[in-house]
Amino acid sequence: MLNFSSCNVTDPGQALPQCRFAGSFGPLSSHWCTPRAVSFSFSFSRSSSRLSLSPVQAVLSYRQQVGSDAAVESGSGSLADRLRLGGLTEDGLSYKEKFIIRCYEVGINKTATIETIANLLQEVGGNHAQSVGFSTDGFATTPTMRKLHLIWVTARMHIEVYKYPAWSDVIEIETWCQNEGRIGTRRDWILKDVATGEVIGRATSKWVMMNQDTRRLQKVNDDVKEEYLIFCPREPRLAFPEENNKSTKKIAKFEDPVQYSRLGLKPRRADLDMNQHVNNVTYIGWVLESMPEEIIDTHELQTITLDYRRECQQDDVVDSLTSPELAEGTETVSVLRGTNGSATATTGADQPDCHQFLHLLRLSGDGQEINRGRTEWRKKPTR
């Protein structure tokens, strides 16, 4: 799932200058995570007695181990916990929560925006982390991670929306975490319409561990695994189990000439998260800023994949670039009509109303990549 062009994640000691710092979205965090076929072992060099506990027993044991302060920090027994429409599932291996779509969360289509969906994924991920007693300081770290100054870094995010909920619709989001590789982990989500039980979306994300002081990738050691694997499914569970699903598709390199652009984007104060870095959802908005109006007016986003390359801070100036994706075996990807050009993007599939685009966010000054993305758009439904 993770395809850093500038970061070789197979080397745990490598510097990570171009990977998005997103501690607040850690896998057992207050925000996001990814997919790919994954397998892991529960054999550790140290005693794995905690893994013999049920997840519910582990939550109680964990809070007793780290003391009452952590229980207070996690919001255990708080008013928010009592009012929240969510909690751990019966087996303790995932977390579900219901949300009502508010009027300020819908856009011009009178349905929830993709930013709303992404924010809800962050929210349910954070509430999951709180429910098992992990840190709520913005990093969702375990005691061992805090001791070693380790944080989670977002590597990839993939979201598919099959039907956007409307104002006052109630949706339920289920989320869970799993181990992935030597230095990675992942979080998956499934979104359902509560009224119909229909699956209306799925998402997955990939995270790697980084030393906060040295900014180098760090292997997930056994001590950390013991602290979070107890809350993970025992067998691989994927939001996208299909073979060759789009969540694992590599994002092609962005080639000139650029057909659509929005230059000089600047982070607002409201774009910063609790760690003083640009929030992941802001990147989605920046990607959409350079989409052609002809597509925005007639289509809706059905799939977005983002590879995070480097962090973005308040003083940075960002360029958003977009071009129709070139389908394999073709040489022309769009036909320009009129002054601004109306993109007719090739799809790589027999879907005449489906359009695919590649995206690049880069620093305006030196051109360094911040984020590489890919989107798919479908014709807006008649409402």
Q: Among all residues, which ones are annotated catalytic?
A: 275, 277, 312
Block residue for tokens 């990977």? 19
**Which amino acid, residue 229?**
L
Q: Phi, psi at residue 54, to the nearest 5°?
A: -75, 160
Angle of the 280-289 helix axis to the 114-131 helix axis, nearest 10? 170
3-state secondary structure 158-219: EEEECCCCECCCEEEEEEEEEEECCCEEEEEEEEEECCCCCEEEEEEEEEEEEECCCCEECC
Please report, for residues 27, 75, 212, the alpha-carbon distance to residue 40 in angstroms, rounded to integers and kept in the order given: 16, 31, 26
**3 state DSSP class of 86:** strand
Residue 243, number of CB atoms within 10 A of its CB = 7
338: exposed, middle or buried (Cβ count in 10 Å: 0-12, 13-18, 19+) = exposed
DSSP element (H, E) containing 289: helix 280-289
The tokens for 98 are 């219901």
- Distance, CA of 222 to CA of 144 (rounded, Å): 10
Residue 286 three-state SS: helix
Pairwise CA distance, residues 291 & 54, whole Å: 48
The DSSP output letter for 331 is S
CB atoms closer than 10 angstroms to residue 242: 9
Question: How far apart, in Å, do the first and last CA atoms of the chain sit?
Answer: 35
